[in-house]
Copies of this chain bind each other. A is one copy, B any other.
């Protein structure tokens, strides 16, 4: 264990299911002497990446809330897209969950979501949640932007049920790429359907998607054109705003650099 890994390994123990750990538990889990873990944990508490809770338990610290906030208020994709999610929800013909997701390393992560107040079911689409790479329209509208070697690498990390499954997936991807949008049914959550369009910005290295998720029960065929129209319109708007934000950032850096 060395470098940042030393700290990362500890943080990675914390999850929704298990959000507090004692030093001894960490020590056992990582097979590392407790005197070492005590030292490391103390460091991380000082840095506010962990905080000591009751008993001798430790929890994730406030640093994550702080930095998350900075991202929310400065990430180009979130800044550009967040305000449109609610509008999209309001203009959709039926109650929906609307999601901005992007490729982060080898994962798709939801970075912003807005659920209509009337949407009842709990969904897997929530900010911060990692999504499966090969299931759901949200992810497909992201993967379909990737080609060549990069696509191959990503795909190879996934567990397909069979070779046929894989071939089919790639075929669908090609089709979706032509159509410019994705549709899936029940791939992530039972009883839900998803529609998605791609969002990207080369200069900022953003590979993302905008999607609307509906209850299958609410859905009628006549809704489809409106849904696609909405997604396409807002998708383009988001891209436009990302560009504007990019220009702002450029300008800002230019200024601060010339001042220096």
Contacts and interface: CB of A to CB of B under 8 A. Distances in A.
Interface of A: 3-5, 7-8, 11, 14-16, 18-20, 40, 43-44, 46-49, 51-55, 57, 59-75, 104-105, 107, 109, 111, 126-130, 202-205, 246, 249, 252-253, 256
Which of A14, A43, A65, A105 gathers most chain B CB within 10 Å? A65
Copies in the complex: 2
11 contacts: A5-B47, A7-B7, A16-B70, A18-B252, A19-B249, A61-B104, A62-B104, A62-B107, A64-B68, A65-B71, A66-B130
Contacts of A51: 104-105, 205
Nearest to A46: B4
Contacts of A61: 104
Given A65-B68, A104-B61, A128-B69, A204 B53 contact: yes
A126 B69 contact: yes
B52 A109 contact: no
A42 B217 CA distance: 47
Contacts of A249: 19-20
B60 A129 contact: no
A145 to B, nearest CB: 16
A219 to B, nearest CB: 27
Given A14-B70, A48-B104, A205-B54, A109 B62 contact: yes
Given A48-B104, A72-B128, 17 more contacts: A4-B7, A8-B49, A11-B67, A15-B70, A19-B71, A19-B75, A20-B253, A51-B205, A54-B205, A59-B74, A59-B75, A61-B104, A62-B105, A64-B67, A66-B128, A68-B128, A69-B126
Contact of A205 (B44, B48, B52, B104): B52
A231 B169 CA distance: 53
A65 B111 contact: yes
A49 to B, nearest CB: 7
Contacts of A54: 202-205, 246
A241 to B, nearest CB: 16
